[in-house]
Structure 1
Amino acid sequence: MNFSNLVGKTVLVIEDDYHQAREVAQALETQGIHVVGPYPTVHEGLEAARGAVLDAAVLDIRLRSDDSFPLADELLAQKVPIMFVTGYDTNVIPARFKDLPRLVKPLEGARLPLVLSLTMATTGGRPLQA
């Protein structure tokens, strides 16, 4: 299934597991998305976010010994819609991010474009939080 609102969009991917990163990138690329990354660290993600015009971002929450919350804050400040992909329970997610979309690992590749499409369509290009 293709989602027309994703074609030609630029999406940042932050994921430190090589296989998961490849799966996420491939699932997005099949929708006609230009993938920025995937990057395995918050630092690389912050650099990429500052140097690109992004339509959305897909973030793993835990990146080795760091978490992606500083990057999520930066992206939300830039009005970039984000979604999390994680194996962690909601109790590790700060309250300010509780309403953001989240997919639980292990991923079913077909669900990622669906959730991203809905995220972008329902926010009109704005983050779900005010």
Structure 2
Amino acid sequence: MSALWGKRILVVEDEAIIAIMVEEMLIDLGASVVGPAQSIPIARNLVETESIDAAVLDVNIRSDRIDPIAELLRARRIPFVFATGYGASASSAKQDELILEKPYTSDRLLGALTIALGGRHSAVAK
């Protein structure tokens, strides 16, 4: 059983194929997926109305930065990881926040979310 078993994970991703892939990975790891949200307003609504244990945030959503959602999650103390294909410098991650570089595997996703949730995992997120 993975560290994500039973966890509710918000996915914010505007590329449908990637969103489906992440959703399938999370389900295979035993998590429930909230979303996926394909826009900032939808993501904001889900954060404000759903029970969420952690989140995977694409850095750019329809040419908009994910920063407002990251700030909302920080304020609610909900852990998250940034996902980006543009390298670590593309995100607004704080020192202790993880960046998952695209493309990533299920094991790297599990590792990053496990660390974000306060656990340990041998996979390296970056």
Taking structure 1 as the reference length, what is the TM-score of the superposition?
0.84
1:59 and 2:57 aligned: yes
Unaligned runs of 5+ in 1: 124-130
Work out whether residues 27 and 110 of structure 1, in 8 Å CA contact, stay in contact via their aligned partners in 2. no
Structure with greater contact order relative to length (CA < 8 Å, sep ≥ 6): 1
Work out whether residues 84 and 90 of structure 2, in 8 Å CA contact, stay in contact via their aligned partners in 1. no
Q: Alignment partner of 1:83: what SS?
A: strand
Structure ranking higher in helix proportion: 1
Unaligned runs of 5+ in 2: 121-126
Taking structure 2 as the reference length, what is the TM-score of the superposition?
0.87
Match of 2:110 in 1: 113
Q: Which amino acid aligns with 2:104?
A: L
C-alpha distance in 1, partners of 2:77/2:19? 24
C-alpha distance in 1, partners of 2:6/2:90? 33
Deviation at 1:108? 2.0
- Aligned-residue sequence identity (percent) comes to 33
The ranges of structure 1 where at least 4 consecutive aligned residues each deviate by more than 4 angstroms after the TM superposition are none
Deviation at 1:98? 4.1
Cα separation, partners in 2 of 1:28 and 1:68, compared to 1, 3 Å: same
